[in-house]
Amino acid sequence: MQPASVLRIGMTALASCIGTQLVDWRVLKKEHRTTVVIVGVRLAYLRAFDFFSAPQIEVDAGLVARRGGRFLELDCRLGPPGAAFAALTVLNRPVRLSGTDALDATPADLDASLLARFTEDEHDGSAVPRPVLDRISALEVGGELLDEGRLAFALSRADCEIADQWQNVRLPDWAAAGRERLVFAAADPRVKTGLSEPMSTLLAEFRRPMYLGDEGTVHTRAYDSNDGALAFVHEVRPAAPGTGGPDGACAVAVEEFRIGGVA
Amino acid sequence: MKVVLSGALLRFAEYTKEVDVEAHTLTEGIEQLTTRFPRLRPVLLDGDGRVRLTHQLFLNGEQVARGDYAVGAAPLPVAAQDTLFVLTAVAGG
């Protein structure tokens, strides 16, 4: 199952968990003027799974309040009963809607009345990891850069949600497009692993949204991790100067392909 | 000055991405922008006429400090060749 499909299932699970653990989405938005935006994704494929593996899958999901409501973390496992093939973690940042028709918002911790709806074991005060940055640092230090390239893109309404802001679930597809372009043009045969083997993990971090009509590039670098994986690091950069995140990127993703496939 | 609007605001500006305004200061430019597109005013500005905290301004690629366009702040001069990007920091759709 492709990462974008897993992520879409995760978004359905998020809506379900918010409804059961907090309040109905409509109440969350209308009465609490609160919603959430995705800031991080960790997806690990646990075993091979294809069309013939099972007639249906189940989604086991739960939401945890982290750092006193600064973040809401969704954990999902997808697969037939007792045989999950994917583990998905989605880190969300609560935002407070301004109340205008643009649905513009500012980051805001979950208010006390909502936070109180979580049970004791649904709170986690530990530090929130940033696995994307850690993995990129490890690749830059210990990996071998094999190739790099750029792919331009423009955001259409089909890429966006109701506020004409990008849908985060589209990121895996843009990353895949950048990777595929690199694979087809690559001189180093190791890069071909990016299409010949199934993905093992996807990490992503969202720093600043892009919007309908925005143009940007996906800058992709391929690394041999030197620990048995081929990794593709993708930086999504806006065309408008200075409008990206602190390092210029609106989002960063790392795809990895285990040599020999999923263990 | 050229004003470039981001996607979340486009629907309030008749889907015009780039707007030319004749302004000597940032405040004048914003005023002309919202005069030309009245539906943009309540979305971009609060009741006191200040740019809402949910939007950010970038002048020639440099983020404009919020204090530079606060009420009572010294006018921030702009030139005809300048480009102002108006971005929504995040939306909660």
Span A115-144, pLDDT tens digits: 999 999 999 999 998 999 999 999 999 999
Cross-chain residue pair A29–B7, CB shorter than 8 Å: no
Beta strands at A123-124 and A58-66: parallel, antiparallel or unpaired: parallel
Residue B70 has pLDDT above 80, yes or no: no
The sign one gets for the Cα dihedral B56, B61, B63, B67 is: negative
Please report residues of A whose CB lies closer than 8 A to that of B3. none
- pLDDT tens, position by position, A59-100: 999 999 999 999 999 999 999 999 999 999 999 999 999 889
Among residues A6, A190, A145, A149, the alpha carbon closest in space to that of A89 is found at: A6
Predicted pLDDT at A73: 98
pTM of the model: 0.91
Residue A263 has pLDDT above 50, yes or no: no
CA separation for the pair A220, A208 (Å, rounded): 18
Which is more confident, B72 or A63?
A63
3-class SS of residue A84: coil
CB neighbour list of residue A82: distance below 8 Å, 6 or more residues apart: none
CA separation for the pair A194, A11 (Å, rounded): 26
- pLDDT tens, position by position, A145-183: 999 999 999 999 999 998 999 999 999 999 999 999 999
3-class SS of residue A251: strand
Q: And the tokens for A167?
A: 């849908």
CATH no., domain A131-258: 3.10.129.10
Predicted pLDDT at A261: 53
Q: Indicate which of A26, A37, A96, A211 best probes the interface with B, i.e. most B CBs within 10 Å of its own CB.
A: A211
Residue B93 has pLDDT above 70, yes or no: no
B53, B63, B88: residue with CB nearest A102: B88
- pLDDT tens, position by position, A31-69: 999 999 999 999 999 999 988 999 999 999 999 999 999
Q: And the tokens for A82?
A: 């007792």
Interface of A with B in 191-210 (CB under 8 A): 208-210
Using the 8-state DSSP alphabet, how is residue A135 labeled? H
CA distances (Å), origin B72, targets A150, A171, B26, B66? 45, 42, 13, 12
Task: Delineate the domains of chain B, giving CATH numbers in brackets.
Answer: 2-88 (3.10.20.30)
- pLDDT tens, position by position, A174-208: 999 999 999 999 989 999 999 999 999 999 999 99
Same fold, A3-124 and A131-258: yes
Predicted pLDDT at A123: 97
Residue A95 sits at the chain B interface (C-beta within 8 Å): yes
CA separation for the pair A44, A32 (Å, rounded): 33
Domain ranges, ordered by start, for chain A: 3-124, 131-258
Confidence of residue B49 (pLDDT cuts 50, 70, 90): confident
3-class SS of residue B12: helix
Predicted pLDDT at A164: 92
* Architecture field, domain A3-124: Roll (3.10)
Predicted pLDDT at A245: 73
In whole numbers, what is the pLDDT of chain A averaged over residues? Answer: 93
Residue A244 has pLDDT above 80, yes or no: no
CB A217 within 8 A of CB A149: no
CB A254 within 8 A of CB A180: no
